[in-house]
Amino acid sequence: MTASPASFRLALAQLNPTLGDVEGNLALARAARAEAAYAKADAILFPELFLAGYPPEDLVLKPAFQDACRAACETLARETADGGPAVLIGLPWAEGGKLYNALAVLDGGKIDAVRFKVDLPNYGVFDEKRVFDSGPMPGPVNLRGVRLGVPICEDIWGEDVVECLAETGAEILLVPNGSPYFRGKSDVRLNIAVARVTESRLPLVYLNQVGGQDDLVFDGASFVLNADSSLACQFSSFTQQIVITEWTRGADGWRCAQGPRALPLDDDKADYAACVLGLKDYVEKNRFPGLVLGLSGGIDSALCAAMAVDALGADRVHAVMLPYRYTSSDSLEDAESCAKALGVRYDVVPIAPPVEGFENALAPLFKGTNRDITEENLQSRTRGTILMAISNKFGAMVMTTGNKSEMSVGYATIYGDMNGGFNPIKDLYKMEVYRLSSLRNHWKPEDAQGPSGLVIPERIITKAPSAELRENQTDQDSLPPYDVLDAILEGLVEKEMRVSDLVAKGFDLETVKKIERLLYGAEYKRRQSAPGVKVTLKNFGRDRRYPIVNRFRDQGRVAHSPDPRLAPHTTLTKTEVVDF
Give catalytic residue positions.
Answer: 48, 117, 153
Rg of the chain taking only CA atoms, in angstroms? 27
What does 535-565 look like in DSSP terms, one character per residue? -SSS-BTTTB---SS-----TTPPPP---GG
Sorted by sequence, the CB contacts under 8 Å of residue 261 that are 6+ apart come out as 231, 233, 234
What phi and psi, each to the nearest 5 degrees, are found at residue 340? Answer: -65, -45
Burial level of 48, CB count in 10 A (0-12/13-18/19+)? buried
Distance (Å, whole) CA 357 – CA 348: 19
CA–CA gap between residue 577 and residue 580 (Å, rounded): 9
Q: How far apart are CA 184 and CA 39, in angstroms?
A: 34
**Beta strands 210-213; 204-208: pairing state:** unpaired
Q: What's the chain's length in residues?
A: 580
Dump the DSSP string for 135-155.
PPPP--EEETTEEEE---GGG
AA letter at 562: P
Phi-psi region of 407 (alpha: psi -120 to 50; beta: other; left: phi over 0): alpha
Helices (H) and strands (E) in the chain, counts: 16, 19
DSSP 79-94: HGGGS--EEEEEEEEE
Q: Would you say 45 and 11 are in contact if contact means Cβ atoms under 8 Å apart? A: yes
Q: What are the beta bridge partners of residue 113?
A: 105
CA distances 6 to 11, 140, 145, 363, Å, are 17, 19, 10, 85
Residues 421, 388 contacting (CB under 8 angstroms): no
Contact (Cβ atoms closer than 8 angstroms) between residue 144 and residue 43: yes
The DSSP result for 361-413, as a single string, is HHHHHHTT----HHHHHHHHHHHHHHHHHHHHHH-PEEBP---HHHHHHT-S-
Amino acid at 548: I
Residue 94 CB contacts under 8 Å (≥ 6 apart), including other chains: 63, 66, 70, 100
- Residue 292 dihedral angles phi and psi, to the nearest 5°: -130, 140
| Distances in whole angstroms, Cα of residue 256 to Cα of each of 204, 244, 251 | 10, 11, 14
Tell me how far the alpha carbon of residue 458 is from its chain's centroid: 29
Are β-strands 291-294 and 397-398 bridged in parallel, bridged antiparallel, or unpaired?
parallel
